[in-house]
Structure 1
Amino acid sequence: MNKIITCIDGSALSDDVCHAGVWAANKLDKTLLLLNAIEKAASPSTKNLSGAIGLGARTALLLEMASLDEQRSKVALTLGKEILEEAKDLAASKGCQSIEKTLRHSGIVEAIRDLEADARLVVIGRLGEGNEQSFKMLGSHIEQVIRQVHTPVLIVNKDFVEPKSFMLAYDGRETADKAVQRILEGGLLDNLTCHLVTVKNKQPKLQEKFEQTKALLIEKGFEVKASFLEGNIFNALEAYKQKEAVDLLVMGAFSHSKLATVFLGSNTLKMVETTQLPLLILH
């Protein structure tokens, strides 16, 4: 696990994603792998055109479509190479020593899965090219990445800055405990102030687990600011992160089970969709 897969697509967030990837690569002393995935544009099926128009006209149109597809592919390839080269120059200017780049003709999820065996972290923009105005988690590429990839994922927003603190929303569940272990073993969040926050819920022995988690983080060397809150979970977490001006949110990943979709009308989903902070999802 030696590479920081950093997904660059030419969107408004590409520079911020690159900055975040450089931060992670430098912090972990790993190779920055710049990835641009080009999805094939959908064209009308030739089968759907059969019998719709005359043979001669149909043949001419199909030839023209094939020519346009070829031209589009060449332009996309050239643009993709330019995007990667610009990102490489930016990363080098930020002090990144080990940089690789790859251009893939596939969807972003497929491309990441192909490269995941050697990945330490995946860095991706909150919004992709052509989707700068709104974001819904369900059905998005980010949801697919989180569900199908087993590597930690850093979701980047606009105007990324290197974080000095992070908030871990601990709820006492297995995913939260796994996230804590990732933090203790990972190194990415070392030397950052940890805001350990729990909102009272129905998990058994939550207070005890909360105190144990706080002790583990302190033992590892983290400066910990621990808060046990009450009230609506989403509202309490939102109020806390604004009051304390935390730089980064950290959460355990969603379950890979399809049944987990039932729970995505939850506080986790709201946090992902509404936060303007970078979000680190730990598996």
Structure 2
Amino acid sequence: MTTNVMACIDGSSHASAVCDCASWASLRLEAPLTFIHVQSKDTTQTKSDLSGSIGLGSQEHLLAELAELDAQRSKLATEQGSLMLAAASTRATVAGVSAPTTLQRHGELIETLLEFEPDTRLLVLGRHGEASSSPYAHLGSHVEQVIRALHRPILVTQGEFKAPEKVMLAFDGSATTRKGVEMLAQSPLFKGLELHIVLVGADTDDHREQLGWAGNVLNASGLDARTHIVAGEVDQALPAYQLEHGIDMMVMGAYGHSRIRQLLVGSTTTAMISNARVPLLILR
């Protein structure tokens, strides 16, 4: 059984939002919270091999000093990671999370997350990595890689996190988004919140029937579900609806052939997540 909320912590401006978002999810799901920091191999391996450079090959003392500098750099990076994890754990404890745990690993992010995937119920990560200085900078390449690699719900956050009161589910009547409706109906994550089910398309009998099914399933589970049909292009209509109705969190299904799920493939994924000003929960 997948039980843990996993949160990726790094030195980016999103670290606090990731911590707060993961703490919120942990409390809502009544699931243990684990913070993980993955130290890239680039920071643990010698960065410079100058043994073949003219005039340096015989200067063993210089090469030894360079190796020592790399070792010190790796040690400092490890210590920095430990401090970030300790700070996240303290912040989560203050938020009410009981006994959050921390993990520090050396290696590649995707491989590490795949290792822990069997025990992951929800993964929380920032929209970009620590190389960016802006909370609304371009989407980090790691986000799309993680979405493609993992088969767990992924909550992408940015800026500052606030506990949502209104949530929007992008719905198109497909098997994937119907599965998403059933997942939300079975989850305590959004209990007591206002849930908007939004279908972008024509106002037809078929669309109203599909939305009616979704609303009935969610309302029967105790959620406050409200259904809406909006016209326009998906990548414009959904953000516009979010702004107009004060939506605090968006939910989408990943992959497939519909217009909505194509948003999570390639460049449109980048636009959707990068332009969002609220957390985005991606269902798998």
Would the TM-score normalized by the shorter structure come out above 0.5? yes
Q: Does 1:124 align with 2:125?
A: yes
Aligned residue for 2:259? none
Deviations along 1:29-78, one digit per CA (max 9) or x if unpaired, are 111101111112265564x8536545303x44432332111101111111
The one-letter code matched in structure 2 to 1:125 is: G
Q: Does 1:239 align with 2:232?
A: no
Contact 1:146–1:254, Cα closer than 8 Å, also in 2 = no
Aligned residue for 1:14? 15
Count of residues in Structure 1 that have an aligned counterpart in Structure 2: 275
TM-score, structure 1 as length reference: 0.88
- SS of the counterpart of 1:158? coil
Tell me: CA distance 1:5–1:212, structure 2 relative to 1, closer, same or farther (3 Å). same
Tell me: CA distance 1:210–1:22, structure 2 relative to 1, closer, same or farther (3 Å). same
Aligned residue for 1:55? 57
| Cα deviation, residue 149, structure 1 | 0.8
Aligned residue for 1:87? 88
Note the residue ranges of structure 1 that are not aligned, 5 or more in a row. Answer: none
Aligned residue for 1:166? 167
| Cα deviation, residue 87, structure 1 | 1.1
The one-letter code matched in structure 1 to 2:152 is: T
The one-letter code matched in structure 2 to 1:72 is: R
Q: Distance in 1 between matches of 2:265 and 2:104?
A: 35
The one-letter code matched in structure 2 to 1:281 is: I
Identity between Structure 1 and Structure 2 (%) = 32
Tell me: CA distance 1:186–1:265, structure 2 relative to 1, closer, same or farther (3 Å). same
Q: Distance in 2 between matches of 1:117 and 1:62?
A: 43
Q: Distance in 2 between matches of 1:54 and 1:270?
A: 48
| Cα deviation, residue 184, structure 1 | 1.6
TM-score, structure 2 as length reference: 0.87
The one-letter code matched in structure 2 to 1:80 is: G
Aligned residue for 1:219? 220
- SS of the counterpart of 1:167? strand
- SS of the counterpart of 2:42? coil
Tell me: CA distance 1:245–1:261, structure 2 relative to 1, closer, same or farther (3 Å). closer
Aligned residue for 1:209? 210
Q: Does 1:97 align with 2:95?
A: no
- SS of the counterpart of 2:118? helix
Tell me: CA distance 1:102–1:215, structure 2 relative to 1, closer, same or farther (3 Å). same
- SS of the counterpart of 1:154? strand
Tell me: CA distance 1:234–1:101, structure 2 relative to 1, closer, same or farther (3 Å). same
Contact 2:47–2:70, Cα closer than 8 Å, also in 1 = no
Tell me: CA distance 1:169–1:157, structure 2 relative to 1, closer, same or farther (3 Å). same
Aligned residue for 2:198? 197
- SS of the counterpart of 1:114? helix
| Cα deviation, residue 215, structure 1 | 1.6
The one-letter code matched in structure 1 to 2:86 is: E
Deviations along 1:236-263, one digit per CA (max 9) or x if unpaired, are 22221111101100001235xxxx7995
- SS of the counterpart of 1:211? helix
| Cα deviation, residue 175, structure 1 | 2.8
The one-letter code matched in structure 2 to 1:212 is: W
| Cα deviation, residue 157, structure 1 | 1.4
Tell me: CA distance 1:262–1:19, structure 2 relative to 1, closer, same or farther (3 Å). closer
- SS of the counterpart of 2:83? helix
- SS of the counterpart of 1:224? strand
| Cα deviation, residue 5, structure 1 | 0.5
Q: Distance in 1 between matches of 2:83 and 2:48?
A: 31
Aligned residue for 1:264? 266
Deviations along 1:187-231, one digit per CA (max 9) or x if unpaired, are 212221111111116x99444322211221112121122111112
Contact 2:186–2:221, Cα closer than 8 Å, also in 1 = no
Tell me: CA distance 1:60–1:272, structure 2 relative to 1, closer, same or farther (3 Å). same
Q: Distance in 2 between matches of 1:228 and 1:261?
A: 18
| Cα deviation, residue 235, structure 1 | 2.2
